[in-house]
């Protein structure tokens, strides 16, 4: 992990804790298969750097044998591609995929200073200090948050007869 990634991750965790607002993963998969190539794998809290660590991981987690080491990124971490990625860019063993694939993109990626590819259909959304200050000063919440809360509470139900008579 580079110093910039470390600092970014620490800042993101600090901001989420102070604001009481965790990051949200929004969007949807574009089914392009890009996230299945040039993968960095976190094992026991560290990005893999050595092939022997990769071999140890596969012994412990046999499902990860689907990942083939194809090189290193500029920071020296091992990069992998998935052997289960078909020619059509779809997973050939979707039902047997490991948690890394099932949970992508994970919030832990964000909190470790990571990023998503620019062409990814997903994105991370986190409240900024500026947004929090604006919300506090105006006394109003962002419309999208209010709407989301109302939908969670069941605010999308038909109004009752009592509600329409007023």
The tens digit of pLDDT for each residue in 141-161 reads 666 777 777 788 875 455 555
- C-alpha 6/C-alpha 46 separation (Å) is 12
- Choose the most confident range, by mean pLDDT, from 8-12, 131-135, 155-159: 8-12
Residues 6+ apart with CB under 8 A from 24: 124, 125, 126
Inside any domain, residue 148 = no
> pLDDT band at residue 1, thresholds of 50, 70 and 90?
low
Whole-structure pTM over 0.75, yes or no? no
Inside any domain, residue 60 = yes
Inside any domain, residue 165 = no
* pLDDT above 90: percentage of residues in the chain: 44
- C-alpha 9/C-alpha 26 separation (Å) is 19
Inside any domain, residue 154 = no
Instruction: Give the ranges where the chain is alpha helix by DSSP (H).
Output: 3-19, 51-60, 99-102, 107-111, 129-138, 143-153, 161-165
- C-alpha 42/C-alpha 136 separation (Å) is 38
Please give the tally of structural domains in the chain.
1
Asked whether the predicted pLDDT for residue 25 surpasses 90, the reply is: yes
In order, the DSSP letters of 126-162 are ---HHHHHHHHHH----HHHHHHHHHHHTTTSPPPHH
> pLDDT band at residue 82, thresholds of 50, 70 and 90?
very high
Beta bridge pairs of residue 124 = 25
Inside any domain, residue 47 = yes
Per-residue pLDDT of 102-123, as tens digits, reads: 999 999 889 988 888 888 999 9
Inside any domain, residue 113 = yes
* pLDDT given for residue 10 in this prediction: 93
* pLDDT given for residue 105 in this prediction: 92
Output 40 or 155, whichever has higher pLDDT: 40
Domain boundaries, position 90 = 3-127
Inside any domain, residue 101 = yes
Inside any domain, residue 62 = yes
């Amino acid at each position: 992990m580079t110093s910039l990634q470390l600092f970014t991750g620490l800042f993101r965790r600090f901001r989420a804790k102070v604001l009481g607002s965790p990051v949200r993963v929004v969007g949807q998969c574009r089914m392009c298969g890009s996230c299945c190539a040039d993968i960095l794998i976190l094992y026991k809290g560290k990005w893999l750097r050595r092939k022997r660590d990769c071999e140890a991981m596969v012994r412990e987690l046999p499902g990860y044998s689907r990942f083939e080491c194809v090189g290193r990124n500029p920071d020296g971490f091992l990069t992998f591609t998935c052997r289960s990625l078909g020619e059509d860019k779809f997973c050939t063993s979707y039902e047997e995929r490991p948690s890394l694939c099932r949970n992508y993109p994970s919030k832990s990626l964000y909190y470790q200073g990571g990023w998503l590819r620019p062409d990814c259909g997903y994105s991370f959304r986190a409240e900024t200090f500026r947004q929090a200050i604006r919300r506090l000063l105006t006394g109003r919440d962002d419309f999208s948050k209010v709407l989301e809360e109302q939908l969670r509470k069941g605010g999308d139900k038909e109004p009752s007869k009592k509600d329409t008579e007023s």
